[in-house]
Chains A and B, each alone.
Chain A
Amino acid sequence: MADSSAPAGGLLTTSDGRSLKSALASAQKRAKRRAFLLVLPLLAFIVITFIVPIGQLMHQAIYNDGFSANMPRVTAWFAETPPGTPPDETAWEALALDLKDAAAARTVGVVGTRVNYEMSGTRSLFTSTARAASRFEPPYREALLEEDAKWDDPVLWGTMRQVSDAYSANFFLAALDMTRDVNGKIVPMPEDRQIYVSLFLKTFLLAGLITFTCFVLGFPIAHLLATLPMRWSNLLMILVLLPFWTSLLVRTTSWMVLLQQQGVVNNSLVSLGLISEDGRIQMIYNQAGTIIAMTHILLPFMILPLYSVMRPIPPSYVRAARSLGATSWTAFRRVYLPQTLPGVGAGSLLVFILAVGYYITPALVGGASGQLISNLIAFHMQSSLNWSLASALAALLLGAVLVLYWLYDRLVGIDNLKLG
Chain B
Amino acid sequence: MSESHTDAFVAFDRVQKSYDGASLVVKDLNLNIAKGEFLTMLGPSGSGKTTCLMMLAGFETATNGEIRLDGVNINMVPPHKRGIGMVFQNYALFPHMTVGENLSFPLEVRGMTKSTREEKVARALDMVQMGAFINRRPAQLSGGQQQRIALARALVFDPKLVLMDEPLGALDKQLREHMQFEIKHLHESLGITVVYVTHDQGEALTMSDRIAVFNDGRIQQLAPPADLYERPDNSFVAGFIGENNKLPGTIEALSDGKALVRLATGELIDATPVNVTQKGQKTLVSIRPERVEFKPEMMPAGAHMIAAEVLEVIYMGDILRARLRVAGSDDFVMKMRNTLGQTRLSQGDQLKVGWHPQDARALDPL
**B59 adjacent to A322 (CB under 8 Å):** yes
**A323 adjacent to B80 (CB under 8 Å):** yes
Q: With A324-B105, A325-B106 known to touch, is A317 a contact of B94 (CB < 8 Å)? A: yes
Q: Which residue of B lies closest to A314 (CB)?
A: B90
Chain A contact residues (Cβ within 8 angstroms of B): what range?
10 to 19
**A335 adjacent to B80 (CB under 8 Å):** no
Chain B contact residues (Cβ within 8 angstroms of A): what range?
20 to 34
**B84 adjacent to A321 (CB under 8 Å):** no
Q: Which residue of B lies closest to A313 (CB)?
A: B95
Q: 6 extra interchain contacts, Cβ-Cβ under 8 A, other than A322-B59, A324-B85?
A: A319-B57, A322-B58, A324-B80, A325-B110, A330-B109, A334-B105
Q: Which of A320, A321, A335 has the most CB of B within 10 A?
A: A320
Interface residues in B152-202 by Cβ distance below 8 A to A read 153-154, 157
Q: Which residue of A lies closest to B163 (CB)?
A: A323
Partner of B105, one of A316, A321, A328: A321
**B90 adjacent to A327 (CB under 8 Å):** no
**B153 adjacent to A324 (CB under 8 Å):** yes
> Shortest Cβ distance from B132 into chain A, in angstroms?
23
Cα distance, A339 to B95, chains bound together (Å): 8
Main secondary structure of the interface of A (DSSP, over half): helix
Q: Which of B84, B92, B95, B157 has the most CB of A within 10 A?
A: B92
A195 within 8 A of B: no
- Chain A positions within 8 Å of B, measured between CB atoms, are 314, 316-317, 319-328, 330-331, 334-335, 338-339
> Shortest Cβ distance from B221 into chain A, in angstroms?
29
> Shortest Cβ distance from A237 into chain B, in angstroms?
24
**A319 adjacent to B94 (CB under 8 Å):** no
**A314 adjacent to B92 (CB under 8 Å):** yes
Neighbouring A residues of B85 by C-beta, 8 Å: 323-324
Neighbouring B residues of A338 by C-beta, 8 Å: 96
Interface residues in B99-128 by Cβ distance below 8 A to A read 105-106, 109-110
Q: With A316-B88, A326-B109, A330-B109 known to touch, is A321 a contact of B94 (CB < 8 Å)? A: yes
Q: With A324-B157, A338-B96, A339-B96 known to touch, is A319 a contact of B79 (CB < 8 Å)? A: yes
Neighbouring B residues of A327 by C-beta, 8 Å: 80, 109
Neighbouring A residues of B157 by C-beta, 8 Å: 324-325
> Shortest Cβ distance from B77 into chain A, in angstroms?
12
User: What are 13 A-B pairs at a CB distance below 8 A?
Assistant: A316-B90, A316-B92, A320-B88, A322-B58, A322-B80, A323-B57, A324-B153, A325-B80, A326-B80, A331-B80, A334-B105, A338-B96, A339-B94
Q: Which of B59, B94, B95, B154 has the most CB of A within 10 A?
A: B94
Cα distance, A286 to B297, chains bound together (Å): 103
